[in-house]
Structure 1
Amino acid sequence: MRTDERAAPAAPTAGLRERKKRRTRDALLRAALGLFISQGYERTTVDEITDAVGVSQRTFFRYFANKEEVVFAVQDLVESHFVAELHARPAAEGPLGAMRGAVLAAWDTVEEALSEVVTVDLYMRSYRLIESTPALLAVHLRRSTELEERISRLIAARECLDVDADPRPRVAVAAFCGVMRVTGRLWGQGEDSSVEAIRRLTEAYLDRIGPALAASWREAP
């Protein structure tokens, strides 16, 4: 090669391309959630989201099918984090004990799990947005039903049961997920929006499942 020749710049590696894509996706996600929270989900347009990041609509739709998918992207991460914690629970734990341990462990480590994508504060505020927006709440309930079935099958596998022949996994998971819905709604209506607040509420309500399912709630005269 002659000394005055210059080598062509190397093409970016697959790893660099993937990191760039991830940064763009995460920037769109953060911008969208910020706008949804500050001015409302329905009032926010895709154009406003892309303008905030400095990309085109085409780029937005390369990563998300619509605004709804953006809202639930972080929720997907949190749910996957819980499922991973459930997979990791000791085999000796019973179903309700395993789910209780998994959800509390997930809350304890949620900040670390989300740190590369969003702040935990932004996630908690987006969760409240879902709870307070009728259109999003309807989607959330549908998604919760799908998650409930996924957990039921995981619990059945832990207990070496056929989930379609034995009703106990679905019954136990229905009770657990019912508590999750109640505590999520109550937390969303409260003044304390911290992770610690929803964790305390979740733990207190999960600890009442057994007594709540007892034969009688009446105290002896």
Structure 2
Amino acid sequence: MPSMLKRLAILLSIVLVWAPALAQSEIVERLGVPGPITFEGQSFELAWSSAPGGGYYKQEYVPAGQSVETYTEMFLVEAVTSPLRPIDAANGQVKLVQQRKGTDPVANFDIRQNEQSGEVVLDFLLSDLKANPIVVEWNVYRYVPRPGGEGVVLYALSRRGYGDVGAKALLGQLKSIRSSTVLALANAELPSVSIKD
């Protein structure tokens, strides 16, 4: 993969890995998805957006009463308009998870590719045991070829547990919800993206 595509894949894959969204006074809706987005019975409102450049757009949605800095559930919609395939974007995230395995005791992932549609579903687990409080984060990413143009659209769900109690609760909950949530995101009818610069 050319180096520009590698950079884009890594940029798209660094969605949530411990970089809380920066506060901003105005949310600019650029993807034609103003929300709310409903997933598994939970409503998510648009709370943050960014267009850092290079044809990369990101919007974060959280339930009422939650913030992007301290959420327990978040839904994301992102788009990259450069020539990038879903599998390339997913492999960028997989590489980051693999790099953490030496220092992160829960780092793990599972990846599935639909050869027919080109879509990829990746779920992965990370932790930050040095944070105060500690954080455990589970993510499900669905990478979709961008309709009508080059690039990738990412639909993602992220769940976090904070502190010993929250982290243990999330890890315990995953045993019963992981498969159904991954399947729900893989099969969900999600809003189409139309980029507005």
Same fold (TM over 0.5): no
Give the structure with the higher percent strand.
2
Point out which structure has higher relative CO (alpha carbons under 8 A, 6+ apart): 2
The TM-score normalised by the length of structure 2 is 0.31
Structure with the greater alpha carbon radius of gyration:
1
Give the structure with the higher percent helix.
1
The TM-score normalised by the length of structure 1 is 0.28
